[in-house]
Structure 1
Amino acid sequence: MSNKDLWRLSATETAASTIAGDVTAEAVTEANLARMEAANPALNAVVVPLAEEARARARDLDRARAAGAPCGPLHGVAVTIKINVDQKGQANSNGVVALKDVIAPGDAPVVSNLLKAGAVVIGRTNTPEFSFRADTDNPLFGRTNNPWGDHISAGGSSGGAGAAVMAGIGALAHGNDIGGSLRFPAAANGAVTVKPGLSRVAAYNPSQTAERGMLAQAMSVQGLIVRSAADLHLSMPALIAPDARDPFHTPLPWRGEPLEGPIKVGFTKETYEFEMHPEVSAALDDARAALVDAGYQVEDIDPPLLREAGMVGYRTLMGEVLALMEPAIRAQGSAEINDIFDEYFRQFVPYKDVELLQMMAKRSYYARAWSEFQQDYPLVLAPFLPQPFFGPDRDLEGAEGVREVLGSALWSYAMNYMGLPAACVPARLANLPKGPQPINVQIVARRWREDLAVDACIAIENRIGRMCDPLWTRMG
């Protein structure tokens, strides 16, 4: 492979090559910057390029290696950082014009942990206003487009991250997820991710002026979007490293104890009142077959309290948003984001006062039911969305648009509410009337066992193949 094609390597392949000395961190960085220059203008995924900083960082890594310093596990791997997380000297705008000059005085734990592992940050990726849409557009930087075409939204809120990594701009893309913001972009772009469970990844922004709401702390997590599932095993151990600034971080190893016998996987196509598209059904069948072939014991199940947990979870989160965020949204948000929040509040009527506190407490009820259920089924293979991913601005199309985008995403935000790990992996490439698009499925893991979900993603990817390969052929 020529140096100019090094952007095609996975993070695992890149790190192996740079650590062995087969290629330099500088060569990898230049290849990724060239890919960004070529692909990003059509996508608007990276909205703050950091080319010169990346070059300097790569040269420092090469000098340190030549001097005999040990290499980190992500030595020379190109990464992007979402613009709602602090990176020293950069604006944490969160897609809001009024916040464009909020400059971070230091790095968030996810940034410092990636740097400690040897990664090279090449740019910062786009997000919708307040990171609160499943689509990515804002008045500050504009729309992020999906590399598969304009017929598909890039997803959100980590839409810039998903579009960038699948287009070949960096091998790893940082994102975060309070109701699906890692998994929506993974599903939209055909990438792979695992939403970590509660307290798994240290979180803190040095630029913050107040602590987040309790439910936001309990539901929001930091993670990575990748195009090769095995890259999560390489990169997530670095991401989950402890940081004293997060006093509730749980310092557990990435790999848990091996489970005895074949791992049981609960399988369901339940989408409740939402119709399942035939291509989603076929993707679930393909994923199931892949797991059976890999030695998993897959059984049909009835998921406990899933719809109730999802609806209660979203109404509870909306209650906290109404109490703590609404003044900023009304004062600083665009007319479009205010229209969307009006519809959120209509469809997911926020709990208030004592009822809000009661429903926050009820998280334990749902989480306990799933904890007991997953003693028998450590993994659950389920839909992510009941339909192929929607088009741009679908959530601006009134009640039906918001219902399709978030109302049908019960399997997404239920997992945040209960704090469970949940991976999202492509299992099919559908040829639909508007154009081809990937179809992702979700794998829910037992608490603390993100590694099991990633193992299952690898088994599915080994059979289905990586979605970046047909995408790059399509992109030319």
Structure 2
Amino acid sequence: MAEKPIWQWSASELADRVANHDVTAEVAVTATVARMREVNGHLNAVVDDLGDEAIERASGLDAVLKESGPVGPLHGVPVTIKINVDQKGKSTSNGVKAFNDIVAPADAPFVKNLTDAGAVVIGRTNTPEFSFRATTTNELHGRTFNPWNDWASSGGSSGGASTAVMSGMGPIAHGNDIGGSLRFPSAATGAVTVKPGLGRTPAWNPSQSAERGLLAQLMSVQGVICREVRDVRLAMKSVIAYDPNDPWQAPVLFEGPALEKPIRVGFTKNTYQFDVHPAIVQALETARDCLVDAGYEVVEVETPDISEIGETGYRALMGEVSVLMLDDIRRHGSSEINRMFDEYFELFPPFEKEELLRQMARRSFFIRQWNLLLEHYPIVLTPFLPSPTYSWNRDAEGKDGIMEVLGCGIWSFAMNYMGLPAGIVSPRIHDGLPVAVQIVGRRFREDLILDALEAVETRVGVMAQKLFERETL
């Protein structure tokens, strides 16, 4: 069998082969840049092509490798960065025309951690306006397409990131997640990710002129989207490097203590008030069977009320957004995003004044209840959405569309509100598109989630490989 083209290599394989002098970083990056330029014209995942400077950096890394060895575990690995995070000298537009002239004075800590580990940034990826939709399109850069088909959404807000990795534009893509922005795109494209827990990865933009709201600080995290679980693990070990600019980050080792086996997994199919599609049930059962086969003890459980937690978290965030972001949205947002925010506020009435403070105080109750569950079941297998992938503009098709895409995302919002880590893997395909499930874990135990995701991936296969095989037919 012919060897896979370099742009299909995992980050783990690529880093090993560069370190062992089997291939140069320049050759690997050049091949990936060529792939990016071949397919990005249609997919529109990368909106700032940094290929030429990436190849130059890769050449410099080759010289360093010969002189003193790899600079870090990602030496020569091509990556992409989302356009809502600072990269020195580049625009941090957040998908908004009026912000396109905001040029970063320095790298955000997450970007610095990646490049310090030897990663090579080949491009910057698309996001919706203000990074606040479950699909990726904006007036500045246009729509990002799902690599499986043109009908489906690429997810949001890190849709450019997920499309980039799944189509071969680098094996690691930076993204972030305040309500599902790493997980929605991964679910939409069949990529894998772990939304880190609060305090795990550093978050700060040197270009910012004001501090983010408290809920944004508590709910939003920086992470990666990859084709393979082992690459999420590889990248996460580098990006958790401590940075004092983030007051929430805790310098905790990535691997926690080993747990007594068999590890108990809580399992639920509950989608509350939302009807569950048979394909979701099948995906959950497939993931459960994979975990059982891998030696986990899977027990069906009733979790604390995710419907209440998810809705409370979203309404609280809307309360903060209405005070701290709405002026910018009204002034600089498109008519479409403004109409959507009107609908968000109708569907999820923002908590205000005393009620907002009371609800934020109650957040600790929700976390406590889940911490107690996680004491008995260190990881929990859950639905992510009650239905498979949605059409690309469904969340802009009125309140029914918003409910079908975002309103039902209670399993997503709840994890952000509580600051718990949660991963995505797709065990099945339905109607030609991946179907995802979510695995939740204890805070600072992303390693346990990755173990479980890998157990599923090992048994069902890497979803990206199915996409690549289809491309060659």
TM-score band w.r.t. shorter chain: over 0.9
| Structure 2 residues without counterparts, runs of 5 or longer | none
Post-superposition Cα deviations, 1:160-181, rounded to whole Å, max 9, x if no partner, equal: 0000000011010000000000
Q: Which residue of 1 aligns with 2:312?
A: 312
Aligned residue for 1:427? 427
Of the structure 1 ranges 127-136 and 63-72, higher mean CA displacement relative to structure 2 is found in 63-72
- CA drift of 1:38 comes to 1.0
Superposed CA deviations along residues 26-58 of structure 1, whole A, max 9, x for unmatched, are: 011011001101111110000001011101110
Partner amino acid, structure 1, of 2:446: E
- Checking the alignment, whether the CA contact within 8 Å between 1:382 and 1:443 is kept in structure 2 is yes
Q: Which residue of 1 aligns with 2:301?
A: 301
Distance in 2 between the 1:341 and 1:474 partners? Answer: 38
User: Counterpart of 2:394 in structure 1: which amino acid?
Assistant: R
Segment of structure 1 superposing worse, 244-253 or 84-93: 244-253
Secondary structure class of the residue paired with 2:123: strand
1:470 aligned residue (451, 457, 466): 466
Task: State the match for 1:458 in structure 2.
Answer: 454
CA shift, 1:475, in A, is: 2.7
1:256 aligns with 2:256: yes
Alignment of 1:262-277 (within 5 A): 262-277=262-277
Displacement of 1:4 = 8.8
Inter-partner Cα distance in structure 1 for 2:310 and 2:68: 52
User: What SS class does the counterpart of residue 380 from structure 1 fall into?
Assistant: strand
Rounded to whole Å, the distance in 2 between the matches of 1:98 and 1:138 is 12
Output one character per residue of 1:290-342: Cα deviation in whole Å (capped at 9) or x when no partner: 00000000000001121111110000000000010000000000011011111
* Distance in 2 of aligned mates of 1:235 and 1:100: 28
Q: 1:469, CA displacement in angstroms?
A: 1.2
Conserved 8 A contact 2:83-2:127: yes
Higher mean alpha-carbon deviation, 60-69 vs 41-50, is at 60-69
Rounded to whole Å, the distance in 2 between the matches of 1:119 and 1:4 is: 21
The within-5 A match list for 1:198-237 is 198-237=198-237
Contact 1:87 1:111 in 2 (8 A): yes
Asked if residue 356 in structure 1 is aligned to residue 356 in structure 2, the reply is yes
The gaps in structure 1 that reach 5 residues or longer are none
CA contact (8 A) 2:70 2:118 kept: no
How far is 1:68 from its partner? 1.9
Residue in structure 2 matched with residue 110 of structure 1 by the alignment:
110
Matched AA of 2:183: R
Secondary structure at the counterpart of residue 54 of structure 1: helix
Misfit runs of 4+, over 4 Å: 1-4
Contact 1:87/1:106 (CA < 8 Å) preserved in 2? yes
Aligned to 1:100: 100
Structure 1 residue 243 corresponds to structure 2 residue 243: yes
Deviation at 1:263, TM superposition (A): 0.7
CA contact (8 A) 2:179 2:412 kept: yes
Q: Which amino acid aligns with 1:428?
A: R
Structure 1 match to 2:163: 163
Q: 1:267 & 1:247 partners in 2: Cα distance?
A: 34
Q: Aligned partners of 1:88, 1:282: CA distance in 2, in Å?
A: 45
The answer (yes or no) to whether the contact 1:19–1:71 under 8 Å persists in 2 is no
Structure 1 pair 4–445 and aligned structure 2 pair: CA distance change class (3 A): closer
CA deviation digits over 1:348-384, x for unaligned, max 9? 1000001111111111010010001110011000110
> Residues 7-44 of structure 1: CA distance to partner in whole angstroms, max 9, x if unpaired?
11001101110111111000110110011011111100
Deviation at 1:248, TM superposition (A): 2.2
Matched with 1:130 is 130
Distance 2:417 2:433 in 1: 29
Alignment partner of 1:442 is 2:441: no
Structure 2 CA distance, aligned partners of 1:412 and 1:68? 44
Tell me the CA shift for residue 70 of structure 1.
4.0
- Residues 63-119 of structure 1: CA distance to partner in whole angstroms, max 9, x if unpaired? 001112443100111100000000000000000000000000000011000000000
| TM-score under structure 1 length normalisation | 0.98
Whole-Å separation in 1 of the counterparts to 2:254 and 2:322: 36
Distance 1:447 1:232 in 2: 17
3-state DSSP class of the match of 1:56? helix
Q: Distance between the aligned counterparts of 1:57 and 1:255, measured in 2?
A: 31
Q: Give how far 1:242 is off.
A: 0.4
Contact 2:329 2:338 in 1 (8 A): yes
Alpha-carbon distance in 2 for matches of 1:6, 1:454 = 25
Equivalent residue for 1:14?
14
The residue number in structure 2 matching 1:152 is 152
CA separation of 1:14 and 1:375: change in aligned 2, threshold 3 A: same
% identity of equivalent residues: 57
C-alpha contact 2:156 2:185 (8 A) present in aligned 1: yes
Paired amino acid for 1:248: W
Quote the offset at 1:273 in angstroms. 1.0
Partner of 1:87: 87
Q: Which residue of 2 aligns with 1:402?
A: 402
Question: Considering only aligned residues, what root-mean-square deviation do their CA atoms show, in Å?
Answer: 1.1
Moved more, 127-136 or 233-242: 233-242
* d(CA) in 1 for partners of 2:69, 2:187: 39
Q: Counterpart amino acid of 2:341?
A: F
Deviation, 1:3, is 9.5
Matched, 1:59 2:59: yes
User: Which secondary structure does the structure 2 equivalent of 1:385 belong to?
Assistant: coil
Task: Give 1:474 deviation, angstroms.
Answer: 2.4
Q: Which residue of 2 aligns with 1:388?
A: 388
Contact 2:71 2:116 in 1 (8 A): no
Separation of aligned partners in 1, 2:45 and 2:255: 32
- Structure 2 distance, partners of 1:84, 1:157, is 10
1:278 to 2:292 alignment: no
What TM-score comes out, normalization by structure 2 length?
A: 0.98
